[in-house]
Homo-oligomer: A and B are copies of this chain.
Amino acid sequence: MRVVNTKGKKFRVPDATILRLPLYLDKLILLQQAGVKEVSSRQLATSLDIKASQLRHDFHYFGGFSKPGRPYQVDKLVPALEEIIGVDVPVPMIIVGAGHLGQGLANYRNFERLGFPLRGIFDVDPKLVGLEIRGVPIRPLSEMTAFVKEHGIKVGVLTVPVNVAQDVANQMVAAGVVGIWNFTPTDIRTPPQVIVRNERLAVGLMCLSFKTKRIGQTEELRGD
């Protein structure tokens, strides 16, 4: 990825920087909600367990978030990052699979705030169809394709049982979805232009396992 910063210089922004931007925004939104007005690179970096120089180096690719000598203004930084990440451009979304996980995600208020308005929820279970979650009705899966086309849905959250994951993903793609947030513990195959983000709960758990179990291990095994 390349950007043109405020002084007209071109930079290739490293992937590592790109991946940190959402973390910065997430933390800044929390600060904003807590009523914090100013934050220094040092404070923000410390709260994220990184070095202040790294944070400034990251921001430097985009340029002009503050002036030398002045800390960052939270209310200016938040919208600036939102624009860079693309959160300010709404992307209509649906959830497919209204089991507990799907319903739990549907209740997650931040989606709208992050530019992903929830437009529909779909399930095959007739007992669920008709229920509403935060004003969004659960519809029969058979109506999904037409709904995606009619409402220009771009992203689908996949929270169906594993055994139907690929089949439902195929339907999403055929209907026109360009991004899939996959919560099922399996791989789904899609055409290259469709972006899949696998939210592998197993991986998160194993990372925790790894760290948890290193507690109490010997110096020999723990190192640094």
Interface residues of chain A, those whose CB is within 8 Å of chain B, are 1-4, 12, 18-19, 21-23, 25-27, 30, 47, 85-87, 89, 91, 99-105, 107-108, 110-111, 114-116, 154-155, 159, 178-179, 181, 185-187, 193, 195, 197, 199-215, 220-224
Contact residue among B186, B206, B215, B221 (Cβ-Cβ distance under 8 Å from A30): B186
Q: Contact check, B222 vs A2: say whether CB atoms are below 8 A apart.
A: yes
Q: Contact check, B22 vs A206: say whether CB atoms are below 8 A apart.
A: yes
Q: Contact check, A212 vs B85: say whether CB atoms are below 8 A apart.
A: no
- Given A100-B101, A105-B201, do A87 and B207 touch, yes or no (CB 8 Å)? no
Copies in the complex: 2
Residues of chain B with a CB closer than 8 A to A203's CB:
22-23, 26
Contact residue among B86, B104, B110, B195 (Cβ-Cβ distance under 8 Å from A99): B104
A–B complex contacts, Cβ < 8 Å, 21 sampled: A2-B220, A18-B210, A19-B207, A22-B207, A26-B202, A30-B186, A30-B187, A87-B209, A91-B212, A99-B104, A99-B107, A100-B100, A100-B107, A101-B105, A101-B107, A116-B205, A154-B212, A155-B212, A195-B211, A197-B204, A199-B201
Q: Contact check, B195 vs A1: say whether CB atoms are below 8 A apart.
A: no
Q: Contact check, A91 vs B223: say whether CB atoms are below 8 A apart.
A: no
Chain B nearest CB from A172 CB (Å) reads 13
